[in-house]
Structure 1
Amino acid sequence: MDIKEIQNLIKFVAKSGASEVKLEMDDIKITIKTGSESDTTIVHQVPATHIPQAAPIAAQPVAAEATPNKASEPAATEDSKYITIKSPIIGTFYRKPSPDKPLFVEVGQTIAEGDVLCIIEAMKLFNEIESEVSGKIVKILVDDSSPVEFDQPLFLVDPS
Structure 2
Amino acid sequence: MKVQEIRELIKLVDQSNIEEFVFESEGSKVKMKKNTGVTYSVVKDVQEEAPKVEAAPVQIEKTEVKPAVQEVPAPEAPKVVENAENLHKITSPMVGTFYQSPSPDADVYVKPGSKVSDETVVCIVEAMKLFNEIEAEVEGEIVEILVKDGQLVEYGQPLFLVKPL
Shorter-chain TM band = 0.5 to 0.7
CA apart distance, 1:152? 0.1
Identity %: 51
- 1:53 is aligned to none
1:54-105 residue CA offsets vs partner (Å, 9 max, x unmatched): xxxxxxxxxxxxxxxxx86xx5873111001100000000000001111000
Higher helix fraction: Structure 1 or Structure 2? 1
1:80 match: secondary structure: helix
- 1:43 is aligned to none
- 2:119 counterpart of 1:140: no
Distance 1:134 1:127, change over 3 A: same
Out of 64, 78, 96, which is 2:83 matched to? Answer: 78
Query: Partners in 2 of 1:81 and 1:128 — Cα distance?
Result: 25
Query: Partners in 2 of 1:101 and 1:76 — Cα distance?
Result: 28
- 2:135 counterpart of 1:130: yes
1:93-149 residue CA offsets vs partner (Å, 9 max, x unmatched): 000000111100010010011010000000111000011100000000000000000
- 2:96 is aligned to 91
- 2:156 counterpart of 1:155: no
Query: Partners in 2 of 1:107 and 1:77 — Cα distance?
Result: 15
Distance 1:77 1:99, change over 3 A: closer
Displaced runs of 4+ in structure 1, greater than 3 A? Answer: none
Correspondence list, 1:21-100, <5 A: 75=80, 78-100=83-105
Query: Partners in 2 of 1:76 and 1:96 — Cα distance?
Result: 24
Output the aligned Cα RMSD: 1.9
- Report the residue type matching 2:133 in the other structure: E
Query: Partners in 2 of 1:117 and 1:76 — Cα distance?
Result: 20
Aligned length: 89
Larger Rg belongs to = 2
Query: Partners in 1 of 2:82 and 2:105 — Cα distance?
Result: 38
Query: Partners in 1 of 2:89 and 2:115 — Cα distance?
Result: 15
Structure 2: any 5+ residue segments left out of the alignment?
Answer: 1-76
